[in-house]
Amino acid sequence: MTAVHYGADAVYLGGKHYSLRAKAGNFNPEKMREGINYAHQHNVKVYVTVNILAHNDDLSGLPDYLRELHDMGADGVIISDPGVLMTAREAVPDLPIHLSTQANVTNAASAAFWLSQGALRLNLARELSMQEIADISKGVSGELEVFVHGALCISYSGRCMLSNYMTGRDANQGNCAHPCRYSYALVEEKRPGQYFPVDEDERGTYIFNSKDLCLLESLPQLIAAGADSLKIEGRMKSIFYVGGVVRVYRAALDYLAGLPKEAWEKPEEITLPQEFMEELLRTGTRGITENFIKERPGSSEMNYMTSRVIQTYEPIAVVRDLDNGLLVEIRNTLFPGTEVEYMKQGVGATKVRITTFRDEEGKTLEKANPGNRVFLTTEPALEDVEVLGILRRKIADDM
């Protein structure tokens, strides 16, 4: 709902089975049907992930599950396994198939193969340069999708066995324990309990921790290269992240759509307003990298010192109702007098100060805790507020 509110054209989600986010609060059939209906009411499509690398046992029940997705009205399924793709073509031949980035499409011949097997759209591998994306686009006639923002896996397009070896949780079955985000140290056999730092050129110990992908400033070239769809990694993320990132990319695409035709004669010279990137960085990241788009990444694309960079803003509340006042659901402890910002659709934010809040019975409160639903009064009064809009506050200076 947050992604839809802030401008997504489509959302992708996982069910209780066959998804690479097995530990997430995934959708049961009732909630998935509800989510699909909600998206369709707002002219937004829904693609369901069926993207595990399947073993024999996984195939039992798969045709029935695919038929259930079809009956719910899903607009497509995202698949990486050839056997799952073949099963989908047999069980639900008219349900569109999108190839997952897990399938590692890195060249035009591979793209042509998957399109010949029935895939409608290919989510290309994340290890491609801009020129390689353009070459694939020229070589095939199917739709191409490119990941533009979110967490990067240190392995090749997500095919990682580190979690399996270290924790017994198979990332390719949706159970990744994210050991790439751990801080590592060295222990000598005869000195248990004495930990020695693992350094790479004295930069720290998070030796697998990649910065987050961010291709915002490369959108003009991506569009010119032939990308039909831009994908934001957002599952298991907060609504603050989803809303904050989606609204910036929506605003960026709308800005680019408004440029005169002659501007696209040299897409490499098109630049976005600086406020777009400034706003995007306020959602919190591990630092940002363009990964392989311009050149092969090196040590500068890793975050060795910490699992994240300092977050400068945090969510305060989500608007839930407007019938009898500004009713919000609190996300972080809040006191009267706090200055907050209302995140509009687009990149704008309205600053106000909270003067009072009261509970749903009308009692004035001295503070509000996470989960509370309270009516806010602000100075000045907030205008043009919408249900699902997010309120945030500044907690550190911008980086």
The pLDDT of residue 203 is 39
pLDDT tens digits, one per residue of 28-79: 999 999 999 999 999 999 999 998 888 899 899 999 999 999 999 999 999 9
Confidence of residue 165 (pLDDT cuts 50, 70, 90): low
Q: Tell me which range, 11-20, 124-133, 299-308, is most confidently predicted by mean pLDDT.
A: 124-133
Q: What is the DSSP string of 9-72?
A: SEEEEEBSSS-S-TTS-PBPHHHHHHHHHHHHHTT-EEEEE------HHHHTTHHHHHHHHHHH
The pLDDT of residue 306 is 58
Instruction: Share the mean pLDDT of the chain.
Output: 87
pLDDT tens digits, one per residue of 172-206: 556 677 666 666 666 777 777 777 665 544 434 45
The pLDDT of residue 337 is 96
The pLDDT of residue 204 is 42
CA distances from 221 to 224, 252, 265, 285 (A): 5, 13, 11, 23
Q: 343 near 244, Cβ under 8 Å?
A: yes
The pLDDT of residue 159 is 60
% of the chain beyond a pLDDT of 90: 67
The pLDDT of residue 71 is 97
Which domains does the chain show, CATH number per domain? 2-176+208-301 (3.20.20.70), 313-394 (2.40.30.10)
Which ranges of 258-357 would DSSP assign to H, the alpha helix?
A: 274-280
Map residue 10 onto helix, strand or coil.
strand
Confidence of residue 161 (pLDDT cuts 50, 70, 90): low
Residue 193: which residues within 8 A CB-CB, separation 6 or more?
Answer: 187
pLDDT tens digits, one per residue of 97-107: 999 998 989 99
**Is residue 170 predicted with pLDDT exceeding 70?**
no
Confidence of residue 380 (pLDDT cuts 50, 70, 90): very high
Nearest one of 91, 36, 35 to 61, comparing CA atoms? 91
Least confident interval from 120-129, 191-200, 239-248: 191-200
The pLDDT of residue 291 is 72
The pLDDT of residue 194 is 74
The pLDDT of residue 399 is 57
358 by Cβ neighbours in 10 Å (0-12 / 13-18 / 19+) ranks as: middle
More confident: 86 or 169: 86
**Is residue 83 predicted with pLDDT exceeding 90?**
yes
The pLDDT of residue 154 is 65
Q: How many CA atoms within 13 Å lie on the side-chain side of 80?
A: 24
pLDDT tens digits, one per residue of 316-371: 999 999 999 999 999 999 999 999 999 999 999 999 999 999 999 999 999 999 99
